[in-house]
Amino acid sequence: MIATLRETKSKLSRLVARAAQGEDVIITVHGRPTARLTPMPHSGAADRAAWLTELRALHRRCGAAKTPADSTSLISALREERV
């Protein structure tokens, strides 16, 4: 399937679902192929463990563990950062 960037922005969830079902989705910008959504290969337990380790490291680097628990706290924290 080929989708424009505008279409991709408005229908990302649907396009990701199609890719997850095995379909390649080519994204175009000004008529030129620019990116591709493809399904993730099925991986074994070792690959999942490596992925989880990488994800935890990313959370530590980005401070995700400090993310407020609810939306009100999150909005307040974001406003405080801007001041």
Asked if residue 13 and residue 31 are part of one domain, the reply reads: yes
34-60 pLDDT tens trace? 999 998 877 666 777 887 888 888 777
Rama region for 74: left / alpha / beta (φ>0; ψ in -120 to 50; rest): alpha
Domains of the chain: total: 2
Asked if residue 60 and residue 78 are part of one domain, the reply reads: yes
Asked if residue 30 and residue 57 are part of one domain, the reply reads: no
- Confidence at residue 25, expressed as pLDDT on a 0 to 100 scale: 93
Asked if residue 30 and residue 49 are part of one domain, the reply reads: no
- Confidence at residue 66, expressed as pLDDT on a 0 to 100 scale: 61
Whole-number average pLDDT of the chain = 81
Give the tokens for residue 16.
């990701």
Model confidence at 13, pLDDT cuts 50, 70, 90, reads: very high
What domain range includes position 78?
Answer: 45-82
Asked if residue 6 and residue 32 are part of one domain, the reply reads: yes
